[in-house]
Amino acid sequence: MVLRAQYAQPFKAIYLFYSFCKLVAFNIPYWLLINAVPSNRPRSSWSLKKSLIVKAFHWMMGLMLRTGELQMMPDHNKVEPNSNGLWVNAAPEHLFDDGLRMWLSVAQVKPCNIPGYYYTRNSASSHANARKTVYHLHGGAYVIWSASPACTDAARIPKGYLTCTNTVASVFALEYRLSSFDGNGSFENPFPAALLDAFAGYLHLIEQGYSPHDIVISGDSAGAHLALALCRYLQQAARKGLAVPALPSKLILLSPWPDFGVSHQESYKSVKGTDYLRDHDFPQSAITAFLGPHPRSMLESPYISPASIAFFDEDHIGLFRDFPNTFIAVGTGERLLSSQRDLAKLMRRDMGDNKVVMYEAEDCVHDYCAFDWEEPKRSQTFAEIDSWLTGK
């Protein structure tokens, strides 16, 4: 979790009891009253149910900042039993470039074995055209959620590829290390820990005999940010002559979080009512945990803020050259929409218009593909991805 709980037991239990009593007695009735009339809702197309869910998500994120996660999730320390999981070997150091070595030294991060989980079709849902393997990196701001099937929200995306497409044969989801800090200068697993793990996961698939041509890298939210960083590392390491595998055939970015800096700060503020993402406390705490001991100037790196407005100048042309064909799916209700659109513009500048698809789901919130209450637009998005994968 991004922060250690601010309240230790028994005060944590007392605070939780107080918070949930207030939620039931005051917050929910107030939200019901305000959102009863469609014109008062953040988006007039939203149902009352969706309006309340988005409010509750926003409230819950604030609560977790004070209490820590409310549900214990699997992490990188063990493979969950009965979950089709396995251990992934640490990435070998001879494939590290000088930049990665420097970041590892600053962050005091070392390679380690991590879990991964396979999601596969059952025989009843198998399809003759299912040949692609999706390598998926889950969201959660680098501080929450899990690749394990036990994490219901995160697992909906791997399951969506299998139930809503005909081209995906299996999904491999990696349990990369999450970042945290205690507020007193002590960090765990800051950048580039997750990048190192994502690289190890890609090497694992190659070692298992999967061809880069048949691998599709996918990520949602922070996982999409990580997918971009992985592709950038494969691109840069190959240019430096390291014997890294080729880039995958395609890249899918679901509600990417593409700018950790301040270049899109004003647009983030302007659409606060239509998403559950909080103003500053949660994202800034997550960024602090992720950045760790690195200087704040690191936020302007293309590894960390690939959609920064600074990259529109001539000096940065070619930033995305050689990247895989990319499908970007976003909701028009997202607070990150401006930065996501700029990411698409930058990628099209370097790759060409025909290699980048930008799909916008009307009035959907951030990471909408992870939530069943965003149906039918969630399933419609996977159907669009399926058509894109097959070239239709």
| Tokens, residue 163 | 């139930």
Q: What count of residues does the chain have?
A: 392
Residue 172 Cα distances to 39, 115, 329, 367, angstroms: 43, 11, 20, 19
Euclidean distance between CA atoms 107 and 294, whole angstroms: 7
Using alpha carbons, list the distances in angstroms from residue 105 to 178, 191, 197, 201, 300.
Answer: 18, 11, 16, 21, 20
Considering only CA atoms, which of 51, 222, 218, 33 is closest in space to residue 134?
218
Cα–Cα distance between 217 and 230 in angstroms, integer?
A: 9
Q: What does 133-195 look like in DSSP terms, one character per residue?
A: EEEEE--STTTS--SSTTSHHHHHHHHHHHHH-SSEEEEEEE-PPPPEE-SSS-EES-TTHHH
Q: Do residues 127 and 166 make contact, with C-beta atoms less than 8 angstroms apart?
A: yes
Which residue is catalytic, options 146, 221, 263, 305?
221
Active site residue 221: yes
Report the catalytic residues: 221
